[in-house]
Amino acid sequence: MNRKTIMLGVAGDSAAGKTTISKGIVEALGADRVTAICCDHYHRYNREQRRQLNLSALEPDCNYIDIMEQHFRLLREGQPILKPVYNHHTGDFDKPDYIEPTQFVIIEGLLPFHTRLMRLCFDAKVYLDPPEELRREWKIKRDTTKRGYTEAQVLRSMRGREDIAPRYIHPQRSYADMIVRFYQPAPGTDPGDSHLNARLVLLPTLPHPDLTDVLERGGNSDDAPAPSHPAMRLELGRHEGRPADFLEIDGSVCPERAEELMAVIRGHLPSNAALDDSRLGRYQFGLEERRSYPLALTQLLIAYQLMLTADQIERATDRAIKPPLEAVN
């Protein structure tokens, strides 16, 4: 094994939270060690051309899938690429970016798992699957505040894409190693400080840390009465016919319990793993920075996979470099 680049893919519909997930992982591992790339810039046509052709940017035929495959492979091999840049404000293309991959590469976007060649480039694949109503709120807020669209334009675009996402975006869920759904607390439950709950489907395609000891005690405070509904729960079930662990983390989880679970996950990391987990779970609420433990634990479980792969590559490289003892003697 001669490569040194570890690849993470984060897929999901528009405004599903892909950038938020990636940002915390970048900050925790260190920006000098992580290259984060959005693969939604490989369009064949600019906005006006798509309008004339009545095409959506979500459609594979509207994107250079073959170039995406080539670039993913080059990044995995540690080679630089010239990545196209789509300008959401102008609806046209800017000068491409020259990107040299670092130790970790995160590729997030609408179609990163669309073909088998693309999927084979990733060491870990995550699919974000928020409820449609919540994703709609996120998209309107993002596109009107950061991308220069009016609310009417965003709603019109979403109506035009309603039948496209189920055909091209949602099927990628079947290829993920981890499926993440952030959702609002159910009516009648304690919403805590308004943090979203998280539901993680952990597929056996990757090794996940054993969290049983902590989760058996739930995620509520020691001072609270015994809960009928623990704030952290782990259950074994099946997802699309495959066995899977279902990890539920409520937004109202006790910080002490959440920190205890984070410590358990850190304890499973390789001894040489460098991670600043104080940056995990951070998000902006207006001008205020807040922290969500469901988000932090999700990001930590993803980062765990990247660091585990990095350790495996390092060990394999050491074995390949070091000659056998009998050869030395």
Mean pLDDT taken over the chain = 89
Q: What is the pLDDT of residues 103-152, one digit of tens each?
A: 999 999 999 999 999 999 999 999 999 999 999 999 999 889 888 889 99
* Pairwise pLDDT comparison (322 vs 280), residue with the higher score: 280
Q: Which residues pair with 198 in a beta bridge?
A: 182, 249
Q: What is the pLDDT of residues 236-249, one digit of tens each?
A: 999 999 999 999 99
* 220 band by pLDDT with thresholds 50, 70 and 90: low
Buried b (16+ CB within 10 A) or exposed e, 318-329: eeeeeeeeeeee
Residue 275 — φ and ψ, nearest 5°? Answer: -150, 130
* Pairwise pLDDT comparison (56 vs 181), residue with the higher score: 181
Task: Give the 3-state secondary structure of residue 30.
Answer: coil
Residue 95 — φ and ψ, nearest 5°? Answer: -60, 135
Is 234 a residue whose pLDDT tops 90? Answer: yes
* 219 band by pLDDT with thresholds 50, 70 and 90: low
Average pLDDT for residues 83-108, to the nearest whole number?
96
Is 12 a residue whose pLDDT tops 90? Answer: yes
Is 225 a residue whose pLDDT tops 60? Answer: no
Q: What is the pLDDT of residues 147-179, one digit of tens each?
A: 888 999 899 888 888 899 999 999 999 999 999
* 273 band by pLDDT with thresholds 50, 70 and 90: confident
74 closest CA partner among 23, 12, 117: 117
C-alpha to C-alpha distance for 95 and 307, rounded to whole angstroms? 33
